[in-house]
Structure 1
Amino acid sequence: MRLHHPLRAVVGALLAGVLPAAALAACTGGADPTPSASASADPGPQPEDVVATAVIPAGGVDLEVRVHPLVRAGEHVVLTVDFVPVDGVGDEGYVTLSGFGVTSFVADGSHPVNVRLFDLENDVAHHVGADAEGEPVVAPEEWDWVRSERGTRLQMPFAAPPADVEALSLLVPGAPLFAQVPIVDGDVPSGAHPDDVAAAASAAASASATASASPSASAPADDAEPPEVLDLDAVVAAPTFPLESTSAELHGAVRTTESTERVEVTLGSDVLFAFDSADLTPEAADAVALVAQRLAEREPGTVDVVGHTDDQADDAYNLDLSRRRAQAVADALGAHVDASAYPVRVEGRGEQEPVADNGTEEDRALNRRVTVSLTSTVVTRTDVTTAGELPPFDAHVGTAGTPLRVENWARAWEVDASARRVHGHVVVDLTVHAADEEDGLGWAVSFLRGFSSHRGGDTVTPHDITARGTVLQGASRLFPLDYMVGADETWPDGEWFTASDLDAGAWIDGGQTRTYSFVYPRLDADTVVFQAGTGIAFDDDFRLLDVPVAPEVVTDRGGAPRP
């Protein structure tokens, strides 16, 4: 049960919570007739202002998402979002918002966990605050029911970022990523929908006018149930998670996973070494140089070089081979990095820590690897390399700007994409349009769904996550940013959420369009390639070429572009 404290209040109290102080002063005759020197200054966005909008499909109807500024409230920021039907709620007379929860294996996935804030400058994900029972603290309790044309309002608390952070990105299922939602000071907006507030203000003004005209007239009784109040005192945890980025470069030979605190580079042994050898091949030079580049982006610290093998020989032999290979990589790194600043520790672990089953040659190749890791903070950033040619792809291929038709057993879809930069990260906005007029089917976008992690090992992702979408540039592949939300005995390497929609199973009716946003590592490119799937396993995998990447737009607190 969610912990809320609904309060019964008079209309005057309701108005005091949502009307600016100047407006109240004007109503009571208390306004200062002499303008102050700063009266003409732009105060910036106010808590009840709408700073961004988008349209999402929900239950067969389109809803306009109206985003208000984030309001600082002590150690939290409060998000206020309205969902308003574009053309009414349809024949049923109501709409239920779905897709706001998560089919999770480890973490709590209750609605509306899929609504998240991201600090993409500092690479941090924010989850909704939860109560002592682990349930999200929201208001009103039935925020996910749209029963009238006025819509519904959702309020959620999150951990406040540092004081110098002026805006955060917001991901609402079905909408493009809202890149910069400003953070403001002030009173948290009322839990009432703005239409209710306007009606209350009109009634109060009418009552005031009646009372002035006839002082003996009694004021009308206020029997209306007041809006629920977001109970910030009920929040016992508002978790944040460091975002990690993963990229595969040099045709997948070098895979880099990094956060603000740590970098791990995995080198495929089949590129570094000949069969049953610990001597580096000529092709290994580029891979080792790339590892050195990633280390140079970090403050000095101890570098761990660890070798791994598959299970095709006995344990003792594999342990020795893995150590000799790790030493070869460490020796090669010595020509690129300062050993006094980046001392190296070498270890071989043989076949003890596979990242895939050893049942196929492809999986055994994944297990034959050398990892280089450094726990150290970032001092500079280098973009992912973009050399090489795109890998072949045997499925649907189109060019961004012209919708690509993708058909599967459910229906025909049209997909298109654009991209932009947010704090250097590439953000792809994929639009999926149901290219028929069939209603009530409830079909989801199956070509984005999955629950396997690119990380391998004993990791897992939510069941319907959209992480099958990757970005390619040359021979390099970028995976959506992700973060670990928890681990258990079944998944000791953790469950990973992505900076993309966590529920690809949302309903899209015929003629409707839904947007899926994906946040990727930093990459300096004018165009990218977006790909769903591998082009091998499913006949509705697709690739979109020449997706334009719009330049970074930096705005001030009011949303105006900065020069």
Structure 2
Amino acid sequence: MAARPPPEDLVVPSARRPRTSRSAPVAALVAVLALLAACTGDPSPVAGTTPAVDPGPGPEDVVATAVIPEGGVDHELRVHPLVRTGDHVVLTLDLVPLEDLEETVHVLGFGVSSFVAVGRAPVNVRLFDLAADVVHHVGADAAGDPVVAPRTWNRIATERGTRLQMPFAAPAADVAALSLLVPGAPLFAQVPIVEGELPSAAHPDDVAAAAAASASPSATPRAEEVEAPEELDLDAVVSAPTFPLESTSAELAGAVRTVESTERVEVTLGSDVLFAFDSADIAPEAAPAVVLVAQRLLEREAGRVEVVGHTDDQADDAYNRDLSRRRAQAVADALAAQVGGSGHRLAVDGRGEAEPVADNATEEGRALNRRVTVSLTSTVVTRTDVTTTGELPPFGSLVGPAGTPLRIENVARTWEVDATARRVHGHVVVDLTVHGADDERGLGWAVSFLRGFSSHRPGDTVTPHDITARGTVLQGASRLFPLDYRVGVNETWTDGEWFTASDLDAGAWIDGGQTRTYSFVYPRLDVDTVVFQAGTGVVFDDDFRLLDVPVAPEVAAG
């Protein structure tokens, strides 16, 4: 497993003069989510008249805002509705600085340090259909590069700010809204999809300034300072990829690990929990694990269930194959007693040491390789929440209750972290705020304690270099990882690169006094509070755990 970068990693800024504010200081994130929906007008209309109907937001309306830091400067992010046009929906975002600019700000946090997929900005800006568990990536051209407008969207040189316009694959016609994840802002749960003309890809102020400059070359601003209006080239889009989201949970103190997508569920049981050494008889204490696997199968339409045994490499190959098959048969027999009459068909195989998921050179790796996997490709019929039994495991680093900012001091600066949580289509979404709790500015420090590029998935997998997926949710002895999805494979990473439903770049610059929000989308879990944990509490002193994070109830759209 790859180690995360050391905490002294930093983003080196260019020299900057002390900044001069032209508005009230922004000390905390502002996240105002305007859920706009059609509704009837006067509840008691005059007889013979038709009640007025609110048409909802127009393409140029702002439906949500947040404040995010970019390049050491706080900006207001303004979100416009998604506009459906043919096979695409088009997102329009404005970034407007809340301070006087002493120099051009370059928007860096919207890209991805990818090992397999194209990571060019703004790939880190994504749409999520959390009802269907699907993520939408920005449309790309024939070279695989994002199709966006204007070309200069990532440079902010004036107080007017910048506009970013980007296309995505359109969801089904009956989908009225999608969730939006923009780096630095909390997840926008419901961004409405509307019909109408696309907004101009140029900022409205730039359009007006360009018209004024064209009419009078001596006007202010000068003509050469104004970008000509540029429209989004939808004809250049040759692909607008979507990916099925998968959820991973480790339950019963890690004895059972479940990876689930809409189409498939795979449950891995540790052989050391199920069986005694060199035995194929299921231990009595393993009964809850078998019940949990049966529960996952019964949530889905009947199909072929593959039960496959695996071992480490500590005996000869023939013996390991025989032992792994006998263990798989024991699990299949136990499952048959639980799912009999459901229509599921159980198929058994033993592959011995042939398919390791970890290094057999270590005891930890050999333990991971001793396993039985149960997999089913089938449509979800019902869903059962992740189990929440057992005791919270010990943690050897910083611990504090949510609602009171936890102070973290490292080589970079003093930070304050806090978290809230909510449900979106049943999923638990944690919004973690990170605040620079000092007055130092212009240093360009990034948040080290969220950074890393190791994957919780076994095999030859990888994640983007600065991914924030070190954040997990714990409930009892169960641990939930952020939703993720595979974007591609290559010769080095044969099991693929995995992006998470969280910020793919934790290397963003946060100055003293600034606050940045990191949203994490987790599997469905019906509880009132959760525990949020960054890291393991074993290696790094700035790993932390926030207790009793309240989970707000689902907010109905409309």
TM range (shorter): 0.7 to 0.9
Work out which of the residue numbers 98, 105, 112 in structure 1 matches 2:108. Answer: 98
Give 1:269's aligned amino acid.
S
How far apart are residue 78 of structure 1 and its match?
0.2
Partner in structure 2 of residue 554 of structure 1: 556
Q: Find 1:119's aligned residue among 123, 126, 129.
A: 129
Q: Secondary structure at the residue paired with 1:333? A: helix
Amino acid at match of 2:279: S
Q: Which residue of the partner structure matches residue 74 of structure 1? A: 86
Residue in structure 2 matched with residue 311 of structure 1 by the alignment: 313
Q: What residue identity is the alignment partner of 2:443?
A: L
> How far apart, in 2, do the equivalents of 1:456 and 1:332 lie?
26
What's the CA shift for 1:40? 3.3
1:51 aligns with 2:63: yes
Q: CA deviation at 1:200?
A: 7.6
Say which SS state the counterpart of residue 335 (structure 1) adopts.
Answer: helix
Name the counterpart of 1:178: 188
* 8 Å Cα contact 2:207/2:228 also seen in 1: no
1:334 aligned counterpart, secondary structure = helix
Give a deviation string over 1:119-149, Cα, whole Å, max 9, x none.
0000000000000111100000010111111
Encode CA deviations 1:500-557: one digit per residue, 9 max, x unaligned: 000011111111111000000000000000000011111110000000000000122x
Q: What is the match of residue 39 of structure 2?
A: none
- Report the Cα offset of residue 314 of structure 1: 1.4
Partner of 1:251: 253
Deviations 1:316-340 (A, max 9, x none): 1111111111011000001100266
Shift of 1:226: 3.7
Give the one of 519, 523, 526 matched to 1:524.
526
Distance in structure 2 (CA, Å) of the matches to 1:183 and 1:225: 29
Partner letter of residue 529 of structure 1? V
Q: Given the alignment of the two structures, is residue 507 of structure 1 paired with residue 512 of structure 2, yes or no?
A: no
Aligned counterpart, 1:132? 142
Q: Cα distance, 1:493 vs. partner? A: 0.7
Deviation string 1:259-310 (CA, Å, 9 cap, x unpaired) is 0000000001111011111111111100000000000110000100001111
Q: Does 1:534 align with 2:536?
A: yes
User: Amino acid of the residue matched to residue 308 of structure 1?
Assistant: H
* Cα deviation, residue 439, structure 1: 1.6
**Alignment-mate amino acid for residue 192 of structure 1:** A
User: Retained in 1: the 8 A contact 2:435–2:516?
Assistant: yes
Q: What is the rounded CA distance, in whole Å, between the counterparts of 2:90 and 2:321 in structure 1?
A: 53
Q: 1:381: which partner in 2?
A: 383
Match of 1:396 in 2: 398
For residues 213 and 504 of structure 2, what CA distance do their matches in structure 1 show?
Answer: 43
Report deviation, 1:435: 1.5
Quick one: structure 1 residues 440 and 177, their matched pair in 2 at CA, closer, same or farther if it must change by over 3 Å? same
The AA in structure 2 aligned to 1:58 is: E
Shift of 1:41: 1.9
1:168 is the counterpart of 2:178: yes
Query: Could you give the per-residue CA deviations for residues 390-441 of structure 1, whole angstroms, max 9, x where no partner exists?
Result: 0000000011000001122222211000000000000000001112112222
> Which residue, 141, 156, 160 being the options, matches 1:150?
160
Gap regions ≥5 residues in structure 2: 1-47, 217-222
TM-score by length of 1: 0.87
Contact 2:206/2:229 (<8 A) preserved:
no
Distance 1:384 1:528 in 2: 12
Give the secondary-structure state (helix, strand or coil) at the position aligned to 2:376. strand
| TM-fit CA distance, 1:494 | 0.7
Structure 2 letter corresponding to 1:116 = R
Query: What letter is aligned with 1:62?
Result: D
Amino acid at match of 1:338: G
Deviation for aligned residue 1:225: 5.8
- Letter of the structure 1 residue corresponding to residue 257 of structure 2: R
Question: Post-superposition shift, 1:203?
Answer: 10
Query: How much has 1:192 moved relative to structure 2?
Result: 2.2
1:257-276 aligned within 5 A:
257-276=259-278
Distance of 1:250 and 1:225 partners within structure 2: 59
Q: Deviations over 1:340-392 (max 9, x none)?
A: 61110001111111111112211211111100000001011100000111000
Shift of 1:38: 6.2
2:26: which partner in 1? none
Tell me the SS of whatever aligns to 2:331. Answer: helix
Q: What SS does structure 1 have at the residue aligned with 2:367?
A: helix
Cα distance change, pair 275–228 in 1 and its aligned pair in 2 (3 A): same
Structure 1: distance between partners of 2:50 and 2:456: 54
SS in 1 for 2:180: strand
**1:337 is matched by which residue type in structure 2?**
V
> SS state of the match for residue 337, structure 2?
coil
- In structure 2, what is the Cα distance between the partners aligned to 1:108 and 1:154? 19
Which AA in structure 1 matches 2:93?
V
Are 2:445 and 1:435 aligned?
no
Query: C-alpha distance in 1, partners of 2:184/2:553?
Result: 23
SS in 2 for 1:141: coil
Deviation at 1:201, TM superposition (A): 9.0
Q: Distance in 2 between matches of 1:497 and 1:203?
A: 44
Query: CA separation in 1, counterparts of 2:343 and 2:536?
Result: 41
The corresponding residue for 1:83 is: 95
> Could you tell me which residue of structure 2 aligns to residue 425 of structure 1?
427
Distance 1:499 1:225 in 2: 34
Q: Distance in 1 between matches of 2:384 and 2:137?
A: 29
Q: What amino acid does structure 1 have at the position aligned with 2:428?
A: V
Tell me which structure has the larger Cα radius of gyration: 1
Displacement of 1:197 in angstroms is 4.8
Amino acid at match of 1:384: V
Give the match's secondary structure for 2:306.
strand
Could you say what secondary structure the match of 1:99 adopts? coil
Identical aligned residues as a percent: 80
Aligned residue type for 1:74: G
Render the CA deviation track for 1:99-125: whole Å, top value 9, x for unaligned: 111111110000100000000000000
Does the Cα contact within 8 Å between 2:403 and 2:419 map onto a contact in 1?
yes
- Counterpart of 1:448 (choices 447, 450, 458) is 450
User: Equivalents in 2 of 1:465, 1:387: separation in Å?
Assistant: 29
Q: Distance in 1 between matches of 2:81 and 2:100?
A: 26
State whether residues 210 and 228 of structure 2, in contact with CA within 8 Å, keep that contact through their aligned partners in structure 1. no
Q: 1:126 to 1:150 in 2, by over 3 A?
A: same
- Opposite residue 124 of structure 1, the aligned amino acid is V
Once residues 463 and 108 of structure 2 are traced to their aligned partners in structure 1, the CA distance between those partners, rounded to angstroms, is 19
Q: Distance in 1 between matches of 2:50 and 2:112?
A: 47
Q: Aligned partner of 1:194: which letter? A: P
Aligned residue among 58, 62, 73 for 1:61: 73
Question: Secondary structure at 2:291's aligned position in 1?
Answer: helix
Distance in 1, matches of 2:357 and 2:227, equals 57
Compute the TM-score of the two structures, normalised by the length of structure 2: 0.88
Q: Which amino acid counterpart does residue 413 of structure 1 have in structure 2?
A: W
